[in-house]
Structure 1
């Protein structure tokens, strides 16, 4: 059994948990999944055992606790440097970090109005203006990266931390029927067709059935 334990919330709604989960899964890094149901007495009773912040996701590596999805990603990038979770090229790596950090700290309009509901479908949802601005910015980022690095992933032929951080956005765009241009639509297909993405979806489906 792996020493890595990833503690996550509900797969249907926990976008923060999705990021490190798909990262670990896509790179074939063994880990034990511990799933807690958010907003329940059981969660409140047990979360202290795993997470100093009382939030998920949190990665336990032996006695070490690493919380926050970006911190987890950076820790994994160092621990498994040979797997190149960030782009190898320095300039591409710097841009990938910027793109990832913008997702991590921004897009509050999107987060607030288009919450993650992996198996929900709301094609007639009226998207508020602040969320539309975020969607436009995300589409611009995707198109720039795909054009500059050749796709099919944001920084070329290999999946990276940047793709992991935008995987929940792909889910949101599908849920709410967001209209995108050709390049961004193709990227949505690329991510949503990954076995790791589909595996997360299967777990989410079990929660709501």
Structure 2
């Protein structure tokens, strides 16, 4: 049995959970997952037993606990260097870390107006000015990374990296809310969605019995 355990929320809705889960899958390291459904009686208490913040995700590695998606991804990059989870080139790596941090702390308009929801399609929701501005920034960021660093593959920095994991939930949002994209952004989104790990996550999300309404997600 693996000594790595990732505590996550519902796969249909927990965008922050998807990020380190995807990194673990791409790193090819075995791990146990524990799913705690969100917004249910006792959810907060159950999560607090696993994470000091009362939020998911949290990574258990032996006696260590690491929380916050980006911190978990950085920990995995350090723990499994052979997985090459950041670009090898120093310049590309610096930019990859920068865009990952920007995703981590920004795009509030997009995240608020278009919460992650893998159980439905809502082409008429989420069209706020703040969301539109975030999508414009997002697609410009993707185009810049692809143009400067993407020659060796279909992802932002060519090969899959933590930066792609950070943006993977956004890719699902653009699909859920039927956002029309430029050719570069569409090709990148298609590459992310085609990952076997993403297909596995989607399949599990569809099979989940728990349903959270759009009204609840937007609170």
Normalised-by-shorter TM-score class: over 0.9
Q: Deviations over 1:73-129 (max 9, x none)?
A: 010010001111000111110000000000000000001100000131012335100
Aligned residue for 2:208, secondary structure, equals: helix
Q: Deviations over 1:133-156 (max 9, x none)?
A: 000000001011111122410001
- Structure 1 unaligned blocks of 5 or more: none
Aligned residue number for residue 15 of structure 1: 15
Aligned residue number for residue 198 of structure 1: 199
Structure-1 separation of matches of 2:128 and 2:109: 8
Choose the corresponding residue for 2:155, options 141, 153, 156: 153
Counterparts of 1:75-86 in structure 2, within 5 Å, are 75-86=75-86
Instruction: Give the superposition deviation at 1:40.
Output: 1.8
Structure-1 separation of matches of 2:38 and 2:17: 11
Scaled by the length of structure 2, what TM-score is found?
0.92
Paired residues in the alignment total 208
Structure-1 separation of matches of 2:64 and 2:86: 22
Scaled by the length of structure 1, what TM-score is found?
0.96
RMSD of aligned residue pairs (Cα, Å): 1.2
The structure-2 alpha-carbon separation of the partners of 1:44 and 1:124, relative to structure 1 and needing over 3 Å to count, comes to closer
Counterparts of 1:38-57 in structure 2, within 5 Å, are 38-57=38-57
The structure-2 alpha-carbon separation of the partners of 1:118 and 1:84, relative to structure 1 and needing over 3 Å to count, comes to same
Instruction: Give the superposition deviation at 1:50.
Output: 1.1
